[in-house]
Amino acid sequence: MDAIGYIRISKKDQSTHSLEYQEKNIKDYCDRNHILLGSLFVDDGESSYTFDRPDYKALETFIKNHKGKTRIKYLIVFDHDRFSRNLPEALQKIEYLEKKYGLKVIATSEPLDIDTSDPSVFLLRAFKYLIANQELLTIRKRAKESARHAQESGRYLSKAPYGYLNGNKPGGKRIIEIDDSTAYIVKKIFRDFLSGVPHFLIYKDARKLGFPLLGNSAIFRILNNPLYAGLVRVCASGKYPEKLVQGIHKPIITESQYFRTIEMLENGKRSMKSKPKDEFPLRGILKSPCCGTNMTAGWSKGKNKYYIYYRCIAHSNINISGAMIHERFDELLKHISFSQGFIDKLIIRVTTLAKETLNIRDKRHAILKNQLAALETKIEGAENKLFEETINDVTYKKWKKKFDAEKARLKDEFNQLEDLEGHLHQRLLVLPYMLNLPQIFKDSSLTQQHAIINEVFKRGLTFKNGAFRTPWINPEFEANLLDIKEKGLLFLEQPFDFSLDFPSGGGRGIRTSFIKCY
């Protein structure tokens, strides 16, 4: 064996020379020069800018393993741009192979006895690699400009993000399409975030539903992605700044939801660091009475047992008994309820919507019946074509699989419509119970409890001198204000005065010693 060969083509190669063409030229070159070609190494779809290519690394391993055993004199390539398009790395690699293994790197356009130590040969090769390097940069520039042009026209070119699938428009242009099996999770993530649910609870719930992305930033990557609002981010290029354009794909959420989310993320209106557990339902919700920062919570060892405490993150000496806060909060919820007038109006409205829904259901029901009948005709027609040998078994199975999937989907929707009336009737019966806020809160998960608290006390909640305080309560519950104020459970005050003295807490509640916070 006198020589080994190396051929390469990249995924986005501009070369007109296929792997087969390169291989044939190398073999012809060896035949003309009466040298024996041994192994041929092939990198299909690998970049020319680096030597970190699977088969090239295998090539170097092969040379190393055969050093001293088999005399390999030449590494034959079709052209130097197949070897590399990186000028400095290519020249260093050639020098390394010659000095380390006594092996010449030769292109099929060069004579076998070329003197690589000749300055003119070095300059000629350097010029070729320089041209190849320039061509690579040109290719990259064109690809970048092409990608920006596609982005400006509203097309997303990369792998579809979670909630979407990659597809193709007529003509072969790529487009992302909504994946109905995962899009509802994306909707829930945005909805929960805008409702004030902490991100780690959003993540916990999403994982239960099958959300596959891992890591602390998974939820934030979803929230920051404008694709879900039907927008495409056009990357900055030279003097052109980054911008958002209307995409040609369908949105999963509204633009309003996306921009409200971005505003909340940028302005830091919510704490992303607190991680409440079931025993700390107010962690991440309760504001410190001394400075307004979110309070943390945890267990503290007392004389005989452990106690729950809520503590100010900024001032560790401010702590309140968790048992006392939870007891007072449960009492507060008992005295917060919807007015009977609101409930009556809501029942009338829901009843009217239920009737309208049933009317729509009946129309959709009739459409589904017709679609199922037409599908049965198609299935029967496919069977007849198989029997008549108009189509083969492979085609029939392909059609049958498609028809069965469509039939299952239609039947599923048909059955859901069949059950709709019963479900609506049940909802109307339990509607008064569903409007019982204390019971709703008790039956809710921690994520749902946070959403309820943020909806009732949207501008924050603090605890001071044995009572809760808030600058705002949902107008639907304003009728309860007089009663809960008289019972010393909640006071409406705007703004919070964080300069007042506040007692720190102990195992049995709030201590009597006062500490001034600044």
Q: Side-chain half-sphere of 112: how many Cα atoms within 13 Å?
A: 14
Could you list the beta-strand ranges (E) of 137-220: 164-168, 174-178
Range in 286-290, 311-315, 441-445, 467-471 with the lowest mean pLDDT: 441-445
The per-residue DSSP string of 301-344 comes to: E-SSSEEEEEEESS-TT-EEEHHHHHHHHHHHHHT----HHHHH
Any idea which architecture 3-147 has in CATH? 3-Layer(aba) Sandwich (3.40)
Mean pLDDT over each residue of the chain, to the nearest integer:
78
The reported pLDDT for the residue numbered 292 is 81
- Please, are residues 488 and 315 in contact by the beta-carbon 8 Å criterion? no
pLDDT (average), residues 357-372:
84
Give the distance, in angstroms, between the CA of residue 448 and the centroid of all CA atoms in the same chain: 22
pLDDT (average), residues 329-336:
87
Range in 7-21, 192-206, 253-267 with the lowest mean pLDDT: 7-21
Decide if pLDDT at 505 tops 50. Answer: no
Any idea which architecture 164-267 has in CATH? Alpha-Beta Complex (3.90)
DSSP structural state of residue 35? -
pLDDT (average), residues 357-379:
85
| Burial annotation 3-32 (CB, 10 A radius, 16+ → b, else e) | bbbbbbbbeebebeeebeebbebbeebbee
The reported pLDDT for the residue numbered 392 is 86
CA distance 114 to 467: 93
pLDDT digits (tens, 9 = 90+) for 414-466: 777 777 666 666 555 545 555 677 777 777 777 778 878 888 887 788 898 88
- Domains of the chain, by residue range, sit at 3-147, 164-267, 286-337+441-515, 343-431
Give percent of the chain above pLDDT 70: 78
The reported pLDDT for the residue numbered 498 is 47
CATH topology identical between 3-147 and 164-267:
no
Range in 181-185, 214-218, 219-223 with the lowest mean pLDDT: 214-218
pLDDT digits (tens, 9 = 90+) for 248-300: 888 998 888 888 888 788 765 444 444 445 678 888 788 888 888 888 887 77
Decide if pLDDT at 500 tops 80. Answer: no
The reported pLDDT for the residue numbered 187 is 92
Query: Which segment, 82-86, 232-236, 285-289, 340-344, is predicted with the most confidence on average?
Result: 285-289
CA distance 483 to 461: 18
CA distance 35 to 420: 81
CA distance 298 to 279: 9
pLDDT digits (tens, 9 = 90+) for 116-145: 777 777 677 677 666 766 666 666 666 666
